A and B are shown apart, each in its own frame.
Chain A
Amino acid sequence: MESIKLHYDISATDFTRAGAASGDVKRVLKELGVAPATIRNVAVAMYEGEINMVIHAGGGEIDVEITEDAIQMILTDHGPGIENVELAMKEGYSTAPDNIRCLGFGAGMGLPNIKKYSDEFRIDTELGVGTTLTLKVYMS
């Protein structure tokens, strides 16, 4: 199978569109006949990534590549970067403001969920420059 490449721009503070990119990838994977468990892993990891970009980084972009063996997602933002990655990876730790918590987010589950649902997880972050997540979910 030739690889399929998808690109998404995630807008700055638009919560109403957050979920559009992961929803679209979910649809493509469904059409390709990918196993439901794999689709779920990709959809959850990517949606959390989208929400993180909207909450913390003023948006960003996501590149997805679907190959025979795996789905790779590269999420890039030019936000403030993460000061303490170890803390950010801890379930329950969050720096999200109250208005975000009122929407049902900010539970400190974002990055832990992304890691939980990815087979490969890499985070590169630099203060003042931005954060890049490189994720891979294997085809089951």
Chain B
Amino acid sequence: MTVQNLIDTLHLTVLTEGDLEKEITGCYCGDLLSWVMSRAVEGDCWLTVMGNINAVAVAVLTDCACIVLTENAALDADARQRAEQQGVTILTTDKTTYAVAVALSELMK
């Protein structure tokens, strides 16, 4: 499943656009950046409420497929700018992290 498929199926809003054809191969949920950094892996769809510039750095370092900001969590202006520069896809939804994870799990079956 690509990032674009995820956007279309879960009706996510695109805040910044990277490679939307990137394949999603897993999912990671978490807000503690050090924790995420050491556990998320390449191709993960990362669900978080952390919309700051450091989250963008973590997404770049882990090569995750995209960030999904759940429960309408805010994206900082400098984070948006950095994500655009680095080609990181950031999506947003009003759904909870749990709801998105469950839906994603169904889609990946």
Contacts and interface: CB of A to CB of B under 8 A. Distances in A.
A13 to B, nearest CB: 13
Contacts, number: 65
Contacts of B37: 44, 47-48, 113
Interface residues of B, number: 22
Interface string B81-97: 01000100000000000
Given A36-B42, A103-B54, A105-B54, A110 B61 contact: no
Interface magnitude class on chain A: 20 to 34
Interface stretch (A16-24, A57-65, A71-79, A124-132): A16-24
Interface stretch (B1-9, B17-25, B26-34, B101-109): B26-34
Interface of A: 15-16, 18-19, 22-23, 26, 36, 40, 43-44, 47-48, 51, 103-105, 107, 109-110, 113, 116-117
Interface of B: 31-35, 37-38, 42, 50, 52-55, 57-58, 60-63, 78, 82, 86
